[in-house]
Structure 1
Amino acid sequence: MGILDKTVTTIFVLLGGVALVGVATDLGTVVAPDNDREIHAYETAPRCSTAPQTPAECRWTEEFTASGIHVVPEYKTGDRSAVLIGASGARWNTGFPNSGPILDQLDEGDRVTGTIWRGRLTEITANGAAQETGAAPADGSWPDIVSLVLSSSGLLVVVACAWRLRHRRATPAMDATIVLSIGLLFVGLFSAIALFVLADLLSPSVAYNFWLFAAIFCAGAAWVTVLVRRDLKAPRTPGLPGIPI
């Protein structure tokens, strides 16, 4: 028995597909543009003439002393942070998304130069290297990446369910379309992990590029599509639908 055999179940699956498309639309049309605008504002922000007393649109740099350093290897999850102490004695409890290239080289008392923007310590530099903190503007590509995965899977679900509701019963092709939609979700997850691994090998501007992810995702989607088509065309044992002989 397939998931689309019953009309009620098909309707619930259809609503799930519509929800996926809705979330994808919101990410692609609202979240992604907001991230892009924030990144552009940060990159084009002028240097502050004097130290701002309140959150400002300009960027201010000053020297900090590192203390309370916590770091774990890139392949592990855990606390990556340091307390950065300014000349005035102000303490900035600063988290980092990555261990390097600066955090994992810091010792107690080391000096770094920090960048402050909109009241957030967004970046540190030392010995010619730079590292963003967890307060830096979010990378603009992740909403587009998630949107691509969710919309691809959701649209297939909607098509399969609408197709089923127009007919009296489900067909193997309809069930195969649902399987393909689930496969695309897994391919999207795998592609995101592959991109995360590549981040250790490539420069951030390349590793987090949306088109690199799209290439990996589309290649995986094509492979899943071929597998589903082969299974759909394979001869079936009578009475055992979906099991090729």
Structure 2
Amino acid sequence: MLVLGSLVAAALCVLAFARWLPADGERYRAYQAAGACPAAASAQVRAETDCRSSWQYTVEKTVVKDSGRSTTYRADLKDGTSWRGAVEFGDPGPLLETLHQGDEVTGTVWRRTIVALAKDGVRQNTSDAPRDELQMNAAIGLVAGLLAVLTFVFGAVRLINGRAVAPLTWNPYGRRMLITIASVCLGVGLVAVWTRIPWMTVPAVVVPVVACVAVVMYRSLGRGGVRGA
């Protein structure tokens, strides 16, 4: 089962780097390159052309809910006809938390999706807006890849020996490595997003750090004589 799980994790890693990351990068570049739609363009032309259009919407309701474990940041909108819809946000500010029922807002639409709302000079991207955050794509892909390595090693040891062999056991080595992998990958990914350094930096930092921790921890537990579990 561990070897099978490692193959699944490896497949997810490949998909993250081969499909998800390039697709998000291309979508962001296309969005940045898209100009404003011609003022006289019809609704059909606007929908079929890769350009940004502006539409007026009326706020029907906003939901700003942050209960710790679950958060909801949403605006329910309608236009001048019969269309009604909702847009989600990643946080309440700077615009969403100031909106009230009946407010008029300007929505930026790209590829038939509302990617931003604005009112009185205050603008906020929706959750559907393309973002240049490929660092987190890489970080999540690395979580899957490193878990694939970890579970493959554990599974191979069990297949060869018929049982876990210390210190290659879930407790404490496997558990600690799982925490290390998740913490290092996501931590480096977030720092990379905040500092705007290229996404390639994430694997260049994460892989050596996790490898060093794995070796040091393996040797430390080996000297401690941890029994297989």
Q: Please give the range of the TM-score, normalised by the shorter of the 2 chains.
A: 0.7 to 0.9
Counterpart of 1:226 in structure 2: which amino acid?
V
Alpha-carbon distance in structure 2 between the residues aligned to 1:106 and 1:195: 35
Residue deviations 1:21-66 (CA, integer Å, cap 9, x gap): 1111111111111111111111111110035523231101233332
- State the 1:127 CA deviation: 4.3
Residue deviations 1:129-188 (CA, integer Å, cap 9, x gap): 432213323654443221101111212332454466567876435x15996555343334
- Which residue number corresponds to residue 63 of structure 2? 70
- State the 1:220 CA deviation: 6.8
Within-5 A mapping of 1:112-123: 112-123=105-116
Within-5 A mapping of 1:209-220: 210=199
What is the TM-score with the length of structure 2 in the denominator? 0.74
Alpha-carbon distance in structure 1 between the residues aligned to 2:118 and 2:42: 20
Aligned alpha-carbon RMSD (Å): 3.8
Counterpart of 1:69 in structure 2: which amino acid?
T
User: Given the alignment, which residue of 16, 19, 26 partners 1:27?
Assistant: 16
What is the TM-score with the length of structure 1 in the denominator? 0.70
Does the alignment pair 1:38 with 2:23?
A: no
Counterpart of 1:206 in structure 2: which amino acid?
W
Alpha-carbon distance in structure 2 between the residues aligned to 1:79 and 1:170: 44
User: Given the alignment, which residue of 100, 105, 116 partners 1:107?
Assistant: 100
Does the alignment pair 1:234 with 2:224?
A: yes
User: Given the alignment, which residue of 159, 166, 185 partners 1:172?
Assistant: 166
User: Given the alignment, which residue of 78, 87, 93 partners 1:94?
Assistant: 87
Cα separation, partners in 2 of 1:180 and 1:47, compared to 1, 3 Å = farther
Cα separation, partners in 2 of 1:170 and 1:180, compared to 1, 3 Å = closer
Alpha-carbon distance in structure 2 between the residues aligned to 1:74 and 1:211: 35
Unaligned segments of structure 1, at least 5 residues: 1-11
Cα separation, partners in 2 of 1:165 and 1:235, compared to 1, 3 Å = closer
Cα separation, partners in 2 of 1:61 and 1:76, compared to 1, 3 Å = farther
Does the alignment pair 1:145 with 2:135?
A: no
Residue deviations 1:51-99 (CA, integer Å, cap 9, x gap): 5523231101233332211112384523321123334564332222222
Moved more, 92-101 or 153-162: 153-162
Alpha-carbon distance in structure 1 between the residues aligned to 2:74 and 2:129: 14
Question: Identity of counterpart residues, as a percentage?
Answer: 22
The count of aligned residue pairs is 222
Unaligned segments of structure 2, at least 5 residues: none
